[in-house]
Structure 1
Amino acid sequence: MEKSWLKSYDARVPHEINPDSYASIVDILEQAVSTYADSVSYINLGKSITFKELDQQSKQFAAYLQHSGLKKGDAVAIMMPNLLQYPVALFGVLRAGMVVVNVNPQYTARELKHQLNDADAKAIVIVENFACTLSEVIVDTPVKTVMLTQIGDMLGFPKKWLTNLVVKHVKKMVPSFSLPSAIHFMDALKEGASKSYERPTLTGDDIAFLQYTGGTTGVSKGAMLSHRNMVANLEQASAILNTVTVPNKELVVTALPLYHIFALQANCLLFLKLGCANLLITNPRDMPAFVSELGKYPFTVLTGVNTLFNGLLNTPSFAELDFSKVKFSLGGGMAVQRSVAERWYKLTGHVLLEGYGLTECSPIVSVNPPQLEQYNGSIGLPLPSTNIRLVDDDGVDVAPGEAGEMLVKGPQVMVGYLNRPEATEEIMQDGWLATGDIARCDEDGYFYIVDRKKDMILVSGFNVFPNEIEEVAAMHDHIVEVAAVGIPHEASGEVVKLYAVRREDSLSEQDVIEHCRKHLTGYKVPKKVEFRDELPKSNVGKILRRELREEK
């Protein structure tokens, strides 16, 4: 289709970017730590580190990895919430020429085992709070090197000691575990300081991240995101945001976890490139504490998902903050609700921008321009060097103004799924990635999501795929068959509802929910269970989830 959106671009935004402007993310890091050495890079729990400190510590960690039996291209998992250790570990892995595997700390043992095995992860950096999960499965994974850290490790004395004491012994947030061969993360940094670091030769074709996402058929898959993919998306996003941001002058609030591709790219990497500070929020669910933290800093950018913005609006002390320095707020990961956007504008005086992306697209595909004067319900304009087609069920382009499945092409589109050529071929044809989302485009080139073709459920910005939920539920002895669908929810956008046929009438809704909770991360656990005598099926016996979704 014609790139009608280009006419709506700000005059300062180029139509195309150079995805090869940097050979790798490491090039971007090295430029940033050199240019902005004495400026603050990351802040967490009252402690900050400069770009120079980030440079030193990540290089030490890279040296440790290189001398610990790992080689270029090996996968290293990182499993922790937003802490100062995260960017140090992240950039250390990349500087060693290795591949980052981001892991949700809330994963159950089953989920963690699958991801570590699928990625062939040789090492993991993990916060002690979740080490018990790893200890359950490590013998059945390829992981040989374990690096443990505690929440307060980078906070300096005496705060480090006090924080770790409270977390472990007062709040008892560290279940017992056994990982006898593990090394402490801080000891790894010290050891790395005495080792030589050899900068690897990296090209755009080298894989930077294995970012896991679900699938409509089967288990979670690793999207292979190359250095070129990530660099391209950084250049694309920078082209839009450079119209409002000032290098070395912004402070972005990072409340979404860095293991989520949105926060990883839009916060961690983008504002590193700009030489700006990231305020890392470890536990954004504690809204009063989150708001208190916001009150300490003159933040200029805030990113999040709809549930986060809604939570802030419903926290009384949030209204007392100073929003005079704010440049823009950006919502992604799930649809921004109009009611939330309107309340946000009324309180802060700033439009809540909405963007759209996919893990498979590194992740940003489109975004509303920062100059937007009011919420418009769209997912914005495609980024520079991004093309979008809307097609019908036969793959034919729809007429202007009509809705069709959105296909995306651009340098940010993934290399493919790790070791899953058939799944890759299913979603990618001739460079076009099928998003599974149904959209329309208006005459000014703004895109609007109107429906979801996939069965994927979106809970607070996280993908939940029915097959995984159904597989776990079906493990229960008293369940005959099941179907999982998403139903609307005011706070999280959607929640999981399970339809089940049971063998025993004594089986209760709570029994099923408790069973699922043992094997699934919290946001995947069904919130409602409805028992049926039978489930709707096609003439070949396939359960028809769509019929269940469409029931009134």
Structure 2
Amino acid sequence: MSEISSPGTVFAMEKPWLASYPSMIPPEIVPPKETSLADLLEKNCKLYAARIAFTSMGKDLTFRDLGTYTERIAAWLQSTGLEKGDRVAVMMPNILQNPVAVYGILRAGLVVVNVNPLYTPRELEYQLKDAGAKAIFVLENFAHTVEQVLPRTGVKHVVVTSMGDMLGLKGTLVNFIVRKVKKLVPAWSIDGHHRFPDVMRAGEKLPLKPVTLAGNDIAFLQYTGGTTGVSKGAVLTHANLLSNKDQIILWLRAAFRKTPQPEILRFVCALPLYHIFALTVNSLMGLSVGGHNVLIANPRDIPAFVSEMRKYKFHIFPGLNTLFNAMMNCPNFSKIDFSSMILVLGGGMAVQRPVADRWFERTGTTITEGYGLSETSPVATANRFDSSEFTGSIGLPLPSTDIAIRDDAGHDMPLGEVGEICIRGPQVMAGYWQKPEETAKVMTPDGYFRSGDMGFMTPDGYTKIVDRKKDMILVSGFNVYPNEIEEVVAMMPGVMEVAAIGVPDEHSGEAVKLYIVRKDQALTEADVKAHCAANLTNYKRPRVVEFRTELPKSPVGKILRKNLR
């Protein structure tokens, strides 16, 4: 056990997690071989030229194609007068144009600003202005949003793409269905915009000027979900992302103890590529190992998603609790072949044990939970990939990563005691874009990022999250953590989804309120309260239960407690 002393002290038993590492995994990564993500792309598009990099709606894109098309995008961007370090926004779902645009921007020496396509005009305007974006790539389905805010931003170049632009002959039919049958493209008009195919043709005739990029150059402005207030751009450098992919590749070695490594790893890419989880664990990992990512444009269409999963043998599936839960409620879920699955990764939010247990019963695969944030590129910790048990923890710090559990004064807490989870490592951001005061709030003098998540570390180095600081409910002076209550209620067969928040109470300061989406319409408030009385101490039990048809969620599917509050 460590002693509580001055800020920055370390555990008496330094790095207890190393004793729990798989034997073949070193405690540190070597510095990345590549100087930049553009360097990695150019090298691997040649190395894996004949392999498929991405598939979307049945159309394959090889690494050779990826190299060719990104060079064209990069050359065109340079021809517009954009210079190294300028910011370019990408506002698209998981279609082939997304990685082509993103890696093209990076090859031009520019900075990618990932934008959620479902943003309202207010949210989009804020992000484009805050980032100082000078160009944007957007799917035509969302061009009407761009049109509304364009005059109030610094964006000079708009590239509009259609769903079928990279699908060959099939693309014409896809565009017709999207525009005319499903009517998914609201009317828009943007003077001087460029069409994606025209940009590709123009870029083919232009030279790509070499750009010298170093590890400390900015690669992405990755905007946080704004869980602690206004959305902020996490400045992620080329070195941040190269380091994180190397950390994950090292950690992957353990997975191949149970199952031999296939020649080509195939990834399910259902989480949106504009989200840091899919960006690193799907796109960047696939690029690094010559893997094949099958892009799912709309994972909310669960029947279509399940149908797509039946077509391939997958090895790696990053997802999150709500997605796993929704999939298991689809009638055709049992027809998916999980025999080749090596790793099912849960992140983005806590994976509930009832969901993990049910998933294991249905598929024979374990959901392996990891943890990270936009500010950590994102992966900071993960459970062992050779484990066949769901631990309910966020696992061990990755190689070259340190975790400290600290109180509000910055003192390290003894093992087993709750404090704020603080993270140090080469994947930690350079700061928040043009917000030095916000950066100072979250970065400690000794280089740790204060996550805002509360947790404790076990003697064997595993970290368990108990909740976000601001989600904590204070009942008569007792800390109540929503995750615990939600996990208990999720055990009930009649519950589909659940969220717990604190509401004002004249007797106890705050009381617990539950929001539930029923699987069984016969479920009553009395049933829920009886179940909680049997499983939770009195002050943790909900005083109010509200049934709803759905819960508010982020684009990634994370339940938004702040909206319920």
TM-score (normalised: structure 1): 0.83
Specify whether residues 103 and 135 from structure 1 end up closer, same or farther in structure 2 by C-alpha distance, changes over 3 A only: same
Q: Alignment partner for residue 360 of structure 1, among 371, 375, 378? A: 375
**Which residue of structure 1 aligns with residue 117 of structure 2?**
105
Instruction: Give the distance between the partners of 2:273 and 2:399, measured in 1 at CA.
Output: 25
Q: Secondary structure at the match of 1:374?
A: coil
Instruction: Give the distance between the partners of 1:353 and 1:33, measured in 2 at CA.
Output: 30
Instruction: Give the distance between the partners of 1:43 and 1:251, measured in 2 at CA.
Output: 10
**Which residue of structure 1 aligns with residue 538 of structure 2?**
none
Are 2:247 and 1:232 aligned?
A: no
Query: 8 Å contact 1:78–1:100 — kept in the other structure?
Result: yes
Note the C-alpha offset of 1:104: 0.2
Aligned partner letter, 2:155 = V
Q: Alignment partner for residue 344 of structure 1, among 355, 359, 363? A: 359
Specify whether residues 191 and 494 from structure 1 end up closer, same or farther in structure 2 by C-alpha distance, changes over 3 A only: farther
Specify whether residues 439 and 281 from structure 1 end up closer, same or farther in structure 2 by C-alpha distance, changes over 3 A only: same
Note the C-alpha offset of 1:527: 9.2
Are 2:202 and 1:191 aligned?
A: yes
Note the C-alpha offset of 1:455: 5.0
Q: Secondary structure at the match of 1:417?
A: coil
Query: 8 Å contact 1:36–1:248 — kept in the other structure?
Result: no
Moved more, 23-32 or 166-175: 23-32
**Which residue of structure 2 aligns with residue 205 of structure 1?**
216
Specify whether residues 96 and 44 from structure 1 end up closer, same or farther in structure 2 by C-alpha distance, changes over 3 A only: same
Note the C-alpha offset of 1:215: 4.2
Q: Secondary structure at the match of 2:426?
A: coil
Are 2:55 and 1:43 aligned?
A: yes
Kindly report which structure 2 residues correspond to 1:526-537, keeping only aligned pairs within 5 A, or say none: none
Q: Secondary structure at the match of 1:205?
A: coil
Query: 8 Å contact 1:119–1:222 — kept in the other structure?
Result: yes
**Which residue of structure 2 aligns with residue 446 of structure 1?**
462
Aligned partner letter, 2:241 = M
Query: 8 Å contact 2:36–2:215 — kept in the other structure?
Result: yes
Are 2:108 and 1:96 aligned?
A: yes
Specify whether residues 47 and 358 from structure 1 end up closer, same or farther in structure 2 by C-alpha distance, changes over 3 A only: same
Kindly report which structure 2 residues correspond to 1:487-526, keeping only aligned pairs within 5 A, or say none: 494=499
Are 2:238 and 1:254 aligned?
A: no
Are 2:398 and 1:386 aligned?
A: no
**Which residue of structure 1 aligns with residue 416 of structure 2?**
401
Q: Alignment partner for residue 140 of structure 1, among 152, 162, 170? A: 152
Note the C-alpha offset of 1:523: 7.6
Instruction: Give the distance between the partners of 2:92 and 2:501, measured in 1 at CA.
Output: 25
Query: 8 Å contact 1:262–1:333 — kept in the other structure?
Result: yes
Are 2:193 and 1:182 aligned?
A: yes
Instruction: Give the distance between the partners of 1:529 and 1:416, measured in 2 at CA.
Output: 27
Which segments of 5 or more consecutive residues in structure 2 lack a partner in the other structure?
A: 1-10, 474-481, 491-495, 505-553
Specify whether residues 358 and 525 from structure 1 end up closer, same or farther in structure 2 by C-alpha distance, changes over 3 A only: closer
Instruction: Give the distance between the partners of 1:374 and 1:521, measured in 2 at CA.
Output: 29
Q: Alignment partner for residue 62 of structure 1, among 74, 77, 83? A: 74
Instruction: Give the distance between the partners of 2:182 and 2:369, measured in 1 at CA.
Output: 37
1:243-297 Cα deviation digits (max 9, x unpaired): 3364751110000000000000011101210001000000111111111111111
Note the C-alpha offset of 1:99: 0.2
Q: Alignment partner for residue 36 of structure 2, among 4, 10, 24? A: 24
Are 2:323 and 1:312 aligned?
A: no
Report the count of equivalent residues.
484
**Which residue of structure 1 aligns with residue 90 of structure 2?**
78
Note the C-alpha offset of 1:66: 0.6
Note the C-alpha offset of 1:368: 0.8
1:385-415 Cα deviation digits (max 9, x unpaired): 0001111222211112212111111111100
Query: 8 Å contact 2:271–2:556 — kept in the other structure?
Result: no
**Which residue of structure 2 aligns with residue 119 of structure 1?**
131
Q: Secondary structure at the match of 1:311?
A: helix
Instruction: Give the distance between the partners of 2:140 and 2:433, measured in 1 at CA.
Output: 29
**Root-mean-square deviation (CA), in Å?**
2.5
Specify whether residues 93 and 456 from structure 1 end up closer, same or farther in structure 2 by C-alpha distance, changes over 3 A only: farther
Instruction: Give the distance between the partners of 2:18 and 2:470, measured in 1 at CA.
Output: 29
Instruction: Give the distance between the partners of 1:19 and 1:101, measured in 2 at CA.
Output: 26
Query: 8 Å contact 1:497–1:527 — kept in the other structure?
Result: no
Moved more, 364-373 or 447-456: 447-456
Kindly report which structure 2 residues correspond to 1:408-419, keeping only aligned pairs within 5 A, or say none: 408-419=423-434
Q: Secondary structure at the match of 1:17?
A: coil
Note the C-alpha offset of 1:495: 8.2
Q: Secondary structure at the match of 2:255?
A: coil
Q: Secondary structure at the match of 1:454?
A: helix
Q: Secondary structure at the match of 1:416?
A: coil
Specify whether residues 67 and 278 from structure 1 end up closer, same or farther in structure 2 by C-alpha distance, changes over 3 A only: same
1:163-187 Cα deviation digits (max 9, x unpaired): 0001001111000111121100111
Specify whether residues 110 and 191 from structure 1 end up closer, same or farther in structure 2 by C-alpha distance, changes over 3 A only: same
Moved more, 352-361 or 10-19: 10-19
**Which residue of structure 1 aligns with residue 549 of structure 2?**
none
Which segments of 5 or more consecutive residues in structure 1 lack a partner in the other structure?
A: 458-484, 500-519, 531-548
User: Identity across aligned pairs (percent)?
Assistant: 49
Q: Secondary structure at the match of 2:251?
A: helix
Instruction: Give the distance between the partners of 2:285 and 2:204, measured in 1 at CA.
Output: 28
Instruction: Give the distance between the partners of 2:429 and 2:418, measured in 1 at CA.
Output: 25
**Which residue of structure 2 aligns with residue 433 of structure 1?**
449
Specify whether residues 296 and 151 from structure 1 end up closer, same or farther in structure 2 by C-alpha distance, changes over 3 A only: same
